[in-house]
Structures are given as C-alpha cells and as structure tokens.
Copies of this chain bind each other. A is one copy, B any other.
C-alpha cells in the first residue's frame, strides 16, 4: 500500500519521470497538442459508454477500466504541462475552486 500522493508529490513524480530523458519538457504548444490528443481518447471512451452509440463486442466493447485509464492519461499530460510552465497545481486548483465557486453560485440551485 503506497502513501497517497499530494498534488506536489504528483508533480514531482512526473518530473522525475521526465528527467530520465534527454528530451526534457516539450514546448507549450506541443504539450497542448498532446493534451488535446488525450482528451480525444477520453471522449471516445465516454461516448462508447455514455453516448448513444450501441455497444459493440470486441476491441471497442465498453470497459469501465479504460475510462479510468484515459482520465489518468489526461491528468499525466496536464501535470507535464503545469511542470513545464512552473505552475503549482495545489494553488491553481484552490484558486479554481474559489473562482468557480463565486461564478457558479448564480447558476446552481442551493439545497434547501
């Protein structure tokens, strides 16, 4: 059983992984292209499971584990991008929660 990662641990683990290679971090627009690619693969899985397309047998048959895999890939690439730009994810997420919290307060119906 491994110790749960903080967001900072996760950024460090990805950095260690990248540091193995001579290539280092890609430029921002290449990382973005990779993020777009991984979001596309997630879209495909979500559409297979939660969309109108009839399930198929064989390689394309819905498989819940593949959605988790694709979400993991998107997170990995997002962390790579954040690392390459020196963005602190813990801070960025807290800021998002505050900002979205304020912005969406008008869009949603509070529990009564």
Contacts and interface: CB of A to CB of B under 8 A. Distances in A.
Interface of A: 2, 4-10, 13-14, 17, 20-23, 26-30, 32-44, 46-47, 49-54, 56, 64, 67-69, 71-76, 78-79, 81-82, 85, 87-97, 99-101, 106-112
A106 to B, nearest CB: 7
A52 B40 contact: no
A35 B29 contact: no
Central interface residue in A6, A49, A94, by most chain B CB within 10 Å: A6
A8 B44 CA distance: 26
Contacts of A40: 36-41, 43-44
How many copies of this chain does one complex carry?
Answer: 4
A6 B5 CA distance: 5
A56 B106 contact: yes
Central interface residue in A6, A75, A78, A108, by most chain B CB within 10 Å: A75
Contacts of A93: 5, 10, 13, 72, 75-76, 79
Contact of A33 (B43, B68, B94, B109): B43
Nearest to A104: B21
